[in-house]
Amino acid sequence: MNWVLLIIGGLFETGFAVSLGKAQGATGKALAFWLCTFAVCVAISMYLLFKAMGGEKAIPVGTAYAVWGAIGAIGTVISGILWFHEPVTFWRMFFLSTLIISVVGLQVVSS
């Protein structure tokens, strides 16, 4: 269950990063909406990270934070490509792949 909480928390991390990106070009009510979305996503993301690191099957802090951050980073890059028309280059995809491989490797070697 802790891994599910951590993955969902990482997705909300993507949500708060995307909200900040959307807020950059917004004004008025749209700006208020994106800033509220940011605050809600941050709160949920942090709470789920906190819950994943506790309890009976706690995920170690270093592993949990690395996985949570990687999910957020991967989701943010993909969201940037889809919604902000950021470039898809070989090197971006290469380093995104190494991030995924590193997080999987960290999980494999963690007890």
pLDDT tens-digit readout, 73-99: 999 999 999 988 999 999 999 999 999
pLDDT band at 107 (very low <50, low <70, confident <90, very high): confident
- Identify the pLDDT of residue 111: 61
pLDDT > 90 fraction of the chain, expressed in percent and rounded: 80
Q: With the C-alpha atoms ordered 96, 98, 103, 104, is the resulting torsion angle positive or negative?
A: positive
Structure tokens at 7: 């993955």
CA dist., res. 9 & res. 16, Å (int): 11
* 26 pLDDT higher than 90: yes
Half-sphere exposure of 95 (CA within 13 A, CB side): 6
On whether the CB atoms of residues 88 and 81 are closer than 8 A, the answer is yes
CA dist., res. 31 & res. 108, Å (int): 42
Per residue in 31-63, pLDDT (tens digit) is 999 999 999 999 999 999 999 999 888 998 988
Nearest-10 Cα torsion for 87, 68, 37, 28: -40
* 108 pLDDT higher than 90: no
Average pLDDT, the chain: 93
**Residue 87 three-state SS:** coil
Per residue in 57-73, pLDDT (tens digit) is 899 898 899 999 999 99
